[in-house]
Amino acid sequence: MKNLEHDLLKKINDQREEILKMSESASEQKMEQVLTFRQRQKKKKSKKLTLLLNKLFYESPFYYVVIFFSILFFGLIFIAETVPALSTAIYALEPLGIILAVILFLREAPERRKQFHYNAFTALDRAYGVNDSKARKMALEDLTDEGLDLSDLDLHDTNLSGVELYGVELQRGNFYKSNLKNVKMCLADLHKSNFNNAQAANASIRCANLSFSTFKGGNFSNANFSSANLMFSDFSNANFSGAKFINSKLKGVNFKGAFMSGADLTGAEVIMEELEEAYLVNATMPDGTIHK
């Protein structure tokens, strides 16, 4: 009886282990579906022809590949002298080669773009901590043109004067103590960015989203913020003399100690009680009158 019970338990355990193995195998197959084709091919241990050709073509020295295809090509030409059909096929190789080259060029476009993005981000990483870097400016402009999201980028204490970042996606950007003179960031998304103590005279940041950003102690004289969203930003102790805020949204802004002499606020959406905390001599008020 005990032997029978022992055999029965052993059989049940064996079946359970077999089921577990089958479920694990199915789970692995399901997980492999998220892998790329190249990753799946690499995981397979079988010596397939595609893997062999891939190894010979990509891992062999370049001159080996050149010599191999040169011998193959001249061999085909020699044989073609006696085989008319092969001769016709070889003469058709030139236009076919051009077509294939165009197809390969188009097919590899995403990889080239990925490499381009990688190089640009590498340039930004290498320039970190360097005050003035032409490579950083070029990388920022290129990545902006590509429409990439650069949010949370740390650009504090850097020279970005004259950089053109139209429409840049850079929420929560850090521009603390940076040189932003003559910078152009129209239509940019700079929500919750830090511009404290930045030097941004003559900057053009029109039609941008700057809501909840801070500008404390910065110099933004003659900057253009027309039609920009600056709601709930902090202007305290910043210099906005001669700056343009035409049709801008300024509700909830902290104007305490802000120097806005000669600023143009025509058509701006602002709470007058908050605005009165700024120095407004000769500033054009939202209704078009000049503040005395």
Residue 52 and residue 80 in one domain: yes
Residue 239 and residue 147 in one domain: yes
Phi first, then psi: give them for residue 239, nearest 5 degrees.
Answer: -100, 110
Residue 169 and residue 265 in one domain: yes
Residue 154 lies in a domain: yes
Residue 199 lies in a domain: yes
How many other CB atoms sit within 10 Å of the CB of residue 10?
A: 10
Q: Position 198: which residue type? A: A
- 276 Cβ contact list (under 8 Å, min separation 6): 255
Residue 73 and residue 163 in one domain: no
Domain range enclosing 154: 132-292
Residue 189 lies in a domain: yes
pTM reported for the whole predicted model: 0.68
| Amino acid 115: pLDDT | 86
Distance between CA atoms of residues 270 and 25, nearest Å: 65
Per-residue tens of pLDDT for the chain, all 292 residues: 555 556 656 666 666 666 555 555 544 455 555 555 555 655 555 455 566 666 666 666 766 767 777 777 777 677 766 777 666 666 666 676 677 677 666 767 778 788 888 888 898 889 888 999 999 999 999 999 988 999 999 999 999 999 999 999 999 999 999 999 999 999 999 999 999 999 999 999 999 999 999 999 999 999 999 999 999 999 999 999 999 999 999 999 999 999 999 999 999 999 999 999 999 999 999 999 998 8
Q: What angle do CA 166, 171, 176 make, to 5 degrees?
A: 90
Residue 9 lies in a domain: yes
pLDDT digits (tens, 9 = 90+) for 63-78: 676 777 777 777 767 7
Residue 141 and residue 262 in one domain: yes
